[in-house]
Structure formats: structure tokens, C-alpha cells
Structure 1
């Protein structure tokens, strides 16, 4: 499976409380999936890999819309 396809599948995770973003990243020179969490408690529901791609968790503040 291509990483782009895996990312499309996990977009549904964005509806889970505390998961604010998913993106393609790189880990040890290999493609990975980066999950942005605003709630560290959500870490327990995230697997360490998905469809063969390592998942990297990036804890962040909640995303919001910025005005120009």
C-alpha cells in the first residue's frame, strides 16, 4: 500500500478527540505517518504502525484558524 492511501484511510481518525492532524513524514530516512495530538491521553489509542508505516506522534497545541 502506498503511504498516500494509508493517509486517506486514517483521515477518519481526525474525528477522535485529541487527534488534530495527520501527515506524511520521515523517520530514519523512511516515510512515516505523523499524528498531531493536542490531548496526550489520546496516545493510548494510536498504534505504533499502520499498514507497514511507522507512526510518529507529535504533541501540539490544538490547531485553529489563523487570521491574516
Structure 2
């Protein structure tokens, strides 16, 4: 499985409370899954590895849409 396929599979994580976003990142020179979380302890519900890719937690503020309609 490649990283793009893994990212498609985890889009459902965005419906979990406290998860603001998921993206491809890099960890120790290899592709990883970066998960942006806005609530403390959210990482306890996530795996540390998914489909062979390290899951890296990045604390963030709650994401909001800025500007007008797309």
C-alpha cells in the first residue's frame, strides 16, 4: 500500500472528536501520516502505525473555514 491509499482510508478519522486534519508528512526520512489534533489525549484513540506508516500527532487549534464561499 502506498501513502496516498493509506490517507484515503483514514479520511473517516476526520469525524472523530478532536481530529482536525490528516496529511502526508515525513518521519526519519520516510513518509508518515500526520494527524492534527485539537483536544488533549486524542492520540490515545489512534494507532501509532497504520498500514506500515508511522502516525505522527501534531497539536493544533481547531480548524475553521476562513473567507467566503468557495
**TM-score (norm. length: structure 2):** 0.92
Match of 1:23 in 2: 23
| Distance across 2 between alignment mates of 1:29 and 1:42 | 25
Instruction: Structure 2: give runs of 5+ residues left out of the alignment.
Output: none
**TM-score (norm. length: structure 1):** 0.95
**What do the CA deviations read for 1:25-59 (whole angstroms, capped 9, x no partner)?**
00010000000000122111011110000010000
Match of 2:44 in 1: 44
Instruction: Structure 1: give runs of 5+ residues left out of the alignment.
Output: none
Helix, strand or coil at the partner of 2:41? helix
Deviating 4+ runs (over 6 angstroms): none
Q: CA RMSD in A?
A: 1.0
